[in-house]
Structures are given as structure tokens and as C-alpha cells.
Amino acid sequence: MPVVAGGKMLGSVNLLHEEHYYGPERVAQMEELVVPAMACFLILRNSFTI
């Protein structure tokens, strides 16, 4: 799942499971992780020199 902020790719969250596990309903649920993931990426980006 890509994590984008301000038009820039910050990273991705890999969601692995068996085939067909992530149907439309689960994908919609996983999209709720975008904001917390974005916050984590931005915190890490500002805390460390990459």
C-alpha cells in the first residue's frame, strides 16, 4: 500500500497474506492505516538523515 504525502512517495506498507485474502472490504479497512503510516514515515524522515 503506497504512502504518499504532498505528492511525494514516503514509502509503502506491505500487507501480505494468502491469495484472495484482501478483497474490496479488507482493502477499504487497510486504507485506514494510511494516515498513521504517513505520520510514522514523516516522523522518521525528520528524525534521521537518510
With pLDDT > 70 as the criterion, what percentage of the chain qualifies?
A: 96
Model confidence, pTM = 0.67
> 28 pLDDT exceeds 70?
yes
Contact 3, 9 (CB under 8 A): yes
- Nearest CA to 12 among 30, 32, 38? 38
Once rounded to an integer, what is the mean pLDDT over residues 5-10? 90
The cell numbers describing 2, all together, are: 503506497
Contact 40, 46 (CB under 8 A): no
Domain boundaries, the chain: 2-47
The Cα–Cα gap between 48 and 9 comes to 17
